[in-house]
Structure 1
């Protein structure tokens, strides 16, 4: 009887963890769909689609709330230890990162609405490439979380440097357009904010990868994440060049 009770408790706990994982997977899929739809709304200048994306972000927020409630219940009733505790705490952190990804995707959609009021500039077509890479990283970390695959999470984590490099290239392109023609400034400013939102999405995806690694190994990733974002030094160089007297 005691063994049966123990087996029932373990099975019930495993089911609750599986439900938590399923909720987070659904959150991730929704956030990823938001990002893809937001980029389509930018390129197609679709105001209605952008409005729908902004409104749909509430669904991700609601799921994060559900995850938070489930985590509190698990901590209170099950008092998990060791890896089980890591699973539960990581679920809370991962859901928070996904919620932020959804927020950034909604921000892109909001900027798409504003961008519709001005003429498009050529760098807008660099945005889908940036978003595609961010989407690939999100997809990889979601699969890694589902499978508790630390190696896959580590590979996705390392790709953030590639995303930073693409972001820096787009930043440079937009800066050039603004310097060449002041009429481009408004459109390019909206695109700069969109690109930065996507770069931040990549940062949250790498946070998820770090939490997956922690679930599996119980330690943090030993490597230092290399950053490919050199936009701060790029702005400084441009400002320095402009301050030099012409010969």
Structure 2
């Protein structure tokens, strides 16, 4: 039992570490967009491999726990861990994608609408950090707040999406740059979705409820 508890503690720590790495990755990606720094963007892209490796290690730890004959609560923890690790890995991918797009943007004149991307990114980063705290503390109320806050990120994404489309129609020369910004904004909106998935898994871990009521969505855009 002591060994089993050690494995659970190790798994918990690995997921928190993954979440911290993904948050740092996202923060760095948003920073390179503002600074237009090619070298820093390439470092963000390269660092994504570290999150991928940790996700693989977490999968191995989950298997060890499963083979150790866990109780019902442990089974919830194992299932939640598998889902959360996958969501964090995808968040790292999306942060790397933002950095990759920033390399293309750096070859063009600065666009004023990049500031809107910073606002959207700040919301996504806040969601990620708050949901990892909810996971750390097994805090169902905090997880529910993160789940509800995704509507705010959706609304900001919709606003930026429409603003960029309007700008492209008014100035065709901006189409290429704005298209990159649109894809970057979609990456950030998807990060919010994955943070929400983590929140729902925290709720499942704490309460055992896997069927949650539909959450509010304010993304009125056509999927990219």
The TM tier, using the shorter chain, reads over 0.9
Q: Distance in 2 between matches of 1:13 and 1:152?
A: 28
Unaligned runs of 5+ in 2: none
CA deviation vs aligned residue, 1:212-247 (integer Å, no higher than 9, x gap): 0001111125321111100129x9xxxxxxxxxxxx
Instruction: Specify the structure having the higher radius of gyration (Cα).
Output: 1
Residue 34 of structure 2 is aligned to residue 43 of structure 1: yes
Q: Which residue of 2 aligns with 1:6?
A: none
**Aligned residue number for residue 31 of structure 1:** 22
Distance in 2 (CA, whole Å) between partners of 1:174 and 1:205 is 25
Q: 1:182 aligns with which of 168, 172, 175?
A: 172
**Equivalents in 1 of 2:4, 2:139: separation in Å?**
21
CA distance in 2, matches of 1:221, 1:48: 44
The equivalent residue for 1:220 is: 210
Q: Which residue of 1 aligns with 2:13?
A: 22
1:30-179 matches, within 5 Å, as 30-76=21-67, 78-179=68-169
Moved over 2 A (4+): 220-223
Structure 2 residue corresponding to 1:211, chosen from 190, 201, 219: 201
Select between 223-232 and 185-194 the one with higher mean Cα deviation: 223-232
- TM-score, normalised with respect to structure 1: 0.88
Of structures 1 and 2, the one scoring higher in RCO (CA 8 A, sep 6+) is: 2
Take 1:65 and 1:48, find their aligned partners in 2: how far apart are those partners? 27
Aligned length: 224
Unaligned stretches of 5+ residues in structure 1: 1-8, 236-247
Matched, 1:229 2:219: yes
